[in-house]
Amino acid sequence: GVGTGAMAGSLPEGAFFAFQMTFAVITPALIVGAYPERVKFPAVILFSGAWLLLVYAPVCHWIWGGGWLAEMGVMDFAGGLVVHAKAGVSALVIAVMVGRRRGFPNALHPPHSPGLTMIGASLLWVGWFGFNGGSALAADGGAAMAIVVTHLSAAAASLTWAGLEWLRFGKPSLVGLVTGTIAGLASVTPASGFIGPVGGVLIGIAGGAVCFYAVALIKFRLKIDDSLDVFAVHGVGGILGTLGVAFLALPTFGGLGLAEGVGAGDQLAVQATGTIAVVAWSLVVSLVILLVVRAMVGLRVDQEDEIEGLDVTAHGERSYML
């Protein structure tokens, strides 16, 4: 059972259950961004279900359920490791296993509607206030600060990404700006309840810049077709914030401070240990799940189906009736 003990404070059990459920739901959904347009639907269903049970649930309990990483003192306020690092690493595994889309990376279509991309990112921006603020499990000053630093990080990262794109390609794009938004949101997630406004801005600038270069590295240098850059944005951002909180939680940066008698270096070692454990578990278990699913139903759709489009071939409907 979920329990209404110390873990949930004074929350009703149903509210705590529903809140935790949303984290469990969004994490395998994030991974879908790595492999659209080319994976068989039965494989999506089987992988997502197995991943939730075998990757999400154990790590969630290691960190948020009083498990071994919690006992070590790992700081992850709202899912830098539990959500973003796990989804990012698993996304990378599946992108490599399934292979690239046809025409990657030269003949790829850009997103067909930057406006829809913007609306989606805006929904995420607002929704993130619920995730990060709600992780305080109370409507108090801690929740309010988590929302403020989340907003500052998202804004700083959006501007950083757009600025880097402007410098590098001569034109800042809407899709680039909102990719920066998500990078800033993912980066601040683990730190959100432990830092102050200065920390939020710093983590946003760092997240926007580091994830910008991570996208170039994964997609164009390593030629891995992680379609929506789940690893480069969520994975890299979540890990960056997880390591960065060891410093940005210090009162120097307006943070709430670390545990009694723990220095930034000690905390960084704990954060790094947690990161390595979560990355390794996600990588190995995702690989095993994918091997089993591939043996059962296969992963990749036929080339004709991919050309025709999975909206029609897999689901019998058209995305657009134009």
Q: Residue 226 to residues 46, 121, 144: CA-CA distances in angstroms?
A: 20, 18, 34
Q: Which two tokens mark 133?
A: 């603020």
For position 102, what pLDDT does the model report?
84
* Cα separation values, 191 from 63, 94, 172, 221, 304, Å: 14, 28, 28, 30, 46
Q: Taking all residues of the chain, what is their mean pLDDT, rounded to a whole number?
A: 94
Question: Alpha-carbon distance 160 to 136, whole Å?
Answer: 28
Best CA proximity match to 189, nearest among 245, 247, 259, 228: 245
pLDDT digits (tens, 9 = 90+) for 168-195: 999 999 999 999 999 999 999 999 999 9
Query: Mind listing the pLDDT tens digit for each residue in 90-123?
Result: 999 999 999 998 878 777 777 889 999 999 999 9
What is the pLDDT, as a whole number, of residue 1? 38
**Cβ neighbours around 118 below 10 Å, total:** 16
From CA 34, how far away is CA 32, in angstroms rounded? 5
Tell me the pLDDT tens digit for each residue of 1-56.
Answer: 344 444 556 788 889 999 999 999 999 999 999 999 999 999 999 999 999 999 99
What's the pTM? 0.94
11: phi then psi, degrees, rounded to nearest 5: -70, 145
